[in-house]
Structure 1
Amino acid sequence: MTLYIWRHPKPLHAAGLCLGQTDVGVEQRKLRRLANQIQGFARRHRLPKEVWVSPLQRSRGVGTILAARGFRCNLAPALAEVNFGHWDGRPWQQIPRAEIDAWCERFADHAPGGGENLHQLFARVEGWLATLENQPQLAVGHAGWINAARLLAAGRGVPTQAGDWPRPVAYRALSVLTIPAALPAPVPPPPVSC
């Protein structure tokens, strides 16, 4: 299965923040620009007019625009960005250095801010990917989620060192992932429209 996943547009007022599942807005014109990009890509490549989005408005907003243009928009909570717990939405400068160091020392196992560790993120990503039908899929996601999916598609495991975590993909960038058929197949939840 091929997953075409775009990172959401740049959110408003997020510079310097630890941004995971905090729901921040995006300028409407940036949402439209990404929707235009996806619509044109789907048309050029004759892909289904169906898109998966996370519940966070920086992803969901693109899906809402596409739904108004005739796309089927599916809301997938499993597509949400990593959960940073009580760090989420706070400026990085306000997070105690000792807490960041503890995360880096046990990068795969430590849940930053009491949120979600990398093993949990990878399990969530892998579980959702396994529910998809074996046909091209379009999605709008988040940098941490996309990085986890890219590592899984490459057959790599959860990084144990912070230095092994890939740089985030650019806003509105497309990642094309070939997902192996060997992923476990949990029972898929019914799709929820945007």
Structure 2
Amino acid sequence: MEIYLIRHTTPDIERGICYGQSDMPLKDTFPLEAKHILESIPKQFDKVYSSPLQRCTQLAVLIDKNYITDNRLKELDFGSWELKKWSDIPNADIQPWYNDWVNTPADKGESYQELQNRAVSFINTIPNHYNKIAIVTHSGVIRSLWAYFNTIDLKNSFNVLSIEYGAVLKIKYSKI
């Protein structure tokens, strides 16, 4: 199966704000960014899946109006840190997460390992008979799945893979 992991386009939010599962609108550059993405992917997919957040669904509907949303494709849940400036999160709260962000959840949120667990759970529900699917999602989900598919330790997934807004990664995957 070919899986196209597609990151949403640029959100309309100030740099330095924590916004994992917050439903952010997109910048007015969306039409141009979407055009570039659509030109770089196949025209037809067996199925298109998307995070339910609008920064993903606005692109998913352009790929296939019959796309399917799944909560397991949402970005990392940063809990009480959502929509705060990273610099405003007290050091005592954020330092344990900085020390082990793979296993330590954000305050009232989730850990990166928990994100990967739900993303892999989603992948395991995709029917085997599909040849080509698209998944419109977020950088955390894409990195966690890339690590899973390539047996890379999660703590290294940010070092080996840069994912810009609108990035498209193609994976060949066979379920066993």
TM-score, normalised to structure 1, is 0.79
Work out the CA distance in 2 between the residues paired with 1:72 and 1:108. Answer: 34
Q: Using a 3 Å threshold, how does the CA distance of structure 1 residues 31 and 151 change in structure 2: closer, same or farther?
A: farther
2:158 is the counterpart of 1:166: yes
2:19 is the counterpart of 1:25: no
CA offset at residue 107 of structure 1? 2.7
Aligned to 2:37: 37
Match of 1:131, as an amino acid?
Answer: T
Aligned to 2:50: 53
CA offset at residue 49 of structure 1? 6.1
CA offset at residue 106 of structure 1? 3.0
Report the secondary structure of 2:67's partner residue.
Answer: strand
Q: Using a 3 Å threshold, how does the CA distance of structure 1 residues 35 and 133 change in structure 2: closer, same or farther?
A: farther
Structure 1: tracts of 5 or more residues without a match:
183-194
Deviations 1:53-109 (A, max 9, x none): 111000011123344xxx421111111101010011211011112222111223322
Report the secondary structure of 1:4's partner residue.
Answer: strand
Work out the CA distance in 2 between the residues paired with 1:110 and 1:179. Answer: 29
Deviations 1:27-60 (A, max 9, x none): 35515642663366213xxx42642111100001
Report the secondary structure of 1:19's partner residue.
Answer: coil
2:15 is the counterpart of 1:15: yes
Runs of 4+ aligned structure 1 residues displaced above 4 Å come to: none
Aligned to 2:103: 109
Aligned pair count?
172
Match of 1:84, as an amino acid?
Answer: F
2:176 is the counterpart of 1:175: no
CA contact (8 A) 1:81 1:143 kept: yes
Identity of aligned residues (%): 23
- RMSD of aligned Cα (Å): 2.1
Match of 2:132, as an amino acid?
Answer: P
Match of 2:62, as an amino acid?
Answer: I
Deviations 1:150-169 (A, max 9, x none): 1001013443xxxx341550
CA contact (8 A) 2:51 2:57 kept: yes
Q: Say which of 93, 106, 125 aligns to 1:99.
A: 93
CA contact (8 A) 1:88 1:113 kept: no
Aligned to 1:190: none
CA contact (8 A) 2:147 2:157 kept: no
Match of 2:124, as an amino acid?
Answer: A
Structure 2: tracts of 5 or more residues without a match:
none
